[in-house]
Structure 1
Amino acid sequence: MRALPMILAAAAFALPPASVAWADPGHHGHDHGPEAAYGRPGDPARGGRVIQVTMGETETGMAFAPSRIEVRQGEQVQFVLRNGGELEHELVIGTVEANREHAEAMAAHPDMEHEDLNAKRLRPRTSGVLRWQFSQAGTFEYACLIPGHREAGMVGTLVVK
């Protein structure tokens, strides 16, 4: 039975970490489920439609370009993100309610560190990819939840048809 501990150890590495946080409108704080109302993480092996999103500061605040994105229900998207700004920014996919709750938690705990599967945070002048599959139709949003950024205009509309 010496193989059993090795199997259990391998299984532990295959499971997602318990610290992975998911924002969900039905829960206060974070939910650890595999799928939310706005979808689930995309499969890196599947690719998907590429949508480029730039984030950064503007003369009047902060913004995403584009500020509105439409996708099809069931579609997997590869968001190619570029932080063209001088500050750190992030893109968090969620419902309006979940993102507001998450933003409030971040404002109350500004040193909070987290790695949400529905988000990507970028340092200034860097880029990254966030893969997401949109499983349910509806209107959702993407926002930067770093304290003050959403209020400065870093919020976009995401329509799943």
Structure 2
Amino acid sequence: MKLRTAALLLSLASITTLASAHGNEEHKKAGPVKMEQKPWGIAGNAKAVSRTIEIGMTDAMRFTPDKLEVREGETVRFVHTNSGKVMHEFVLGTKKELDEHAALMKKFPGMEHEEPYMSHVAPGKRGEIVWQFNRAGEFDFACLLPGHYEAGMVGKIKVVAK
């Protein structure tokens, strides 16, 4: 009986920890940025930034702007400002990748993740990422917190070939 009670308490503690993982606290980048090629580009070098794009995030579940155009090879600094009262995030990807990630977030809402193509922004705070668009195509960005994606907190990026 004691073993079952201990297991139950441990399980509840881990659920509580997971539930708060995507609360309104700020996420800190842990360690060096992973330089992993993705279909939508690769983490960029801050010294190579050619322009900065400001992105607003609101509790109306919208990004402003929600349509962007960049040139293939361009390194962009995205600065995200959360003017809302709840946590939001900005995640770059393909529609397929974002759909899959959103489904995981529904199943595991407290799941922690930190990649160079995402920024978690607490209410009233700013976040940023630097990304190099080294592949032409049409890509997406979204807030994948449960309910936000489904409410339409999404955007498009067109990467124009050189």
**SS at 1:147 equivalent:** coil
Segments ≥4 residues shifted beyond 3 Å: none
Alignment of 1:137-148 (within 5 A): 137-148=136-147
CA distance, structure 2, for counterparts of residue 68 and residue 93 of structure 1: 13
CA distance, structure 1, for counterparts of residue 104 and residue 32 of structure 2: 23
Could you tell me which residue of structure 2 aligns to residue 69 of structure 1? 68
Could you tell me which residue of structure 1 aligns to residue 89 of structure 2? 90
Q: Does 1:34 align with 2:36?
A: yes
Structure having the higher helix fraction is 2
Structure 2 counterpart of 1:116, one-letter code: E
CA distance, structure 1, for counterparts of residue 50 and residue 44 of structure 2: 9
Q: Aligned residue pairs: how many?
A: 130
Could you tell me which residue of structure 2 aligns to residue 120 of structure 1? 119
TM-score, length basis structure 2: 0.76
CA distance, structure 2, for counterparts of residue 129 and residue 155 of structure 1: 17
Identity of aligned residues (%): 42
TM-score, length basis structure 1: 0.77
Cα RMSD, aligned residues only:
1.6
CA shift for structure 1 position 16:
5.3
CA distance, structure 1, for counterparts of residue 49 and residue 139 of structure 2: 22
Q: Does 1:50 align with 2:52?
A: yes
CA distance, structure 1, for counterparts of residue 110 and residue 155 of structure 2: 24
Please give the per-residue CA displacement for 1:56-107, whole angstroms capped at 9, x wherever unaligned. 122xxx1000010000001000001100111100000000000000111111
**SS at 1:115 equivalent:** coil
Could you tell me which residue of structure 2 aligns to residue 133 of structure 1? 132
Could you tell me which residue of structure 2 aligns to residue 100 of structure 1? 99
Structure 2 segments unaligned to the other structure (5+ residues): 1-30
